[in-house]
Amino acid sequence: MIQTKMTLFSARQLTKDVWELAFTGDTEAFTRPGQFVNIELPGRFLRRPISVASYTDEGMLLLVRLAGAGTADLVSAPAGTAFDTLTGLGNGFDPEERGEHPVLIGGGIGIAPLYGLARKLVGMGLTPHVALGFRSADDVFYVEEFAALGCRVFVATEDGSLGTKGFVTDCVRNYLPEADYAFVCGPTPMLKAVDGLEQLKGGQFSFEARMACGFGACVGCTIPTANGPRRVCKDGPVFRKEEIVW
Ligand code: FES
């Protein structure tokens, strides 16, 4: 982890409440896709933890869902604004452990870290399948970005307005019967449903939690696991299937 200034370079609105923000700055502390940053917002007591969608040597890309005044300030900041940021937080996904037929499964804003993972896997010569879940067609984002990497993308919407009507688990059952390993990020009910897919022999699940420090000091984000209590921010946010206790 390092504390550094990340400078907003550009912002692009993707849906009514999701934005893509590009920052320039020091990304040396990032080691894996699926890590996150904790951004200080002027006038706000607590930093905001946000998953990193991808990073290069020059900067990072965040996908941000509007969730109150803090994130509204962030997405409306003018280009050139510098934010005090803790970078390289969390363990991230291990792309070396992936089974025979991995699938990337994301729900809503949980899609963000899977994009960086997909880029990483493509760089390793793999083209993973991706299953993305949304409430409706109006909420869909980043399908083209995953497809541009060469990934085959399956979409589920709860109201059936785009793709499969239902949930990402329906996509996996119907179209990806060979998938035996999942990289997953999304709301907890979705994680639990994916964990219940009988075809999966293993997987890595990225959890969300309310956070304060973001680097393991306050113990405020602790969850039970098969190996005892673990901090989502420091020991996670990614936990292996066999570690998870629902
Ligand atoms: Fe402080 Fe996780 S947020 S220990």
Q: Quote the tokens at residue 143.
A: 């399908």
Average pLDDT score over residue span 89-111 = 95
Q: Is residue 97 part of a domain?
A: no
Map tokens 């409306």 to a residue: 76
* Residue 138 sits in the same domain as residue 53: no
Cβ(245) – ligand 1 distance below 6 Å: no
User: Which of 89, 123, 157 corresponds to the end of one domain?
Assistant: 89
Spacing, Cα 220 to ligand 1 middle (Å)? 5
User: Which of 89, 117, 150 corresponds to the end of one domain?
Assistant: 89
Q: Is residue 94 part of a domain?
A: no
- Express as a percent the part of the chain with pLDDT over 70: 100
Q: Quote the tokens at residue 142.
A: 């980043």
* Residue 76 sits in the same domain as residue 131: no
The predicted-structure confidence for 120-152, as pLDDT tens digits, reads as follows 999 999 999 999 999 999 999 999 999 999 999
Asked if the model's pLDDT at residue 88 lies above 90, the reply is: yes
Split at pLDDT 50, 70, 90, the class of 232 is very high
User: Which of 59, 89, 119 corresponds to the end of one domain?
Assistant: 89
Which are the contacts of 28, defined by CB distance < 8 A and separation ≥ 6? Answer: 2, 88
> 221 exposed, middle or buried (CB, 10 Å; 0-12, 13-18, 19+)?
buried
Q: Is residue 80 part of a domain?
A: yes
Domain span including residue 230: 209-246
Structural domain tally of the chain? Answer: 3
The predicted-structure confidence for 28-50, as pLDDT tens digits, reads as follows 999 999 999 999 998 888 899 99
* Residue 34 sits in the same domain as residue 77: yes
Asked if the model's pLDDT at residue 219 lies above 90, the reply is: no
Q: Is residue 96 part of a domain?
A: no
Using CA atoms of 70, 37, 51, 180 in order, give the dihedral in degrees to the nearest 10: -160
Spacing, Cα 210 to ligand 1 middle (Å)? 8
Cβ(118) – ligand 1 distance below 6 Å: no
More confident call, 69 vs 129:
129
* Residue 188 sits in the same domain as residue 214: no
- Check if the beta carbon of residue 123 is closer than 8 Å to that of residue 115: no
Asked if the model's pLDDT at residue 97 lies above 90, the reply is: yes
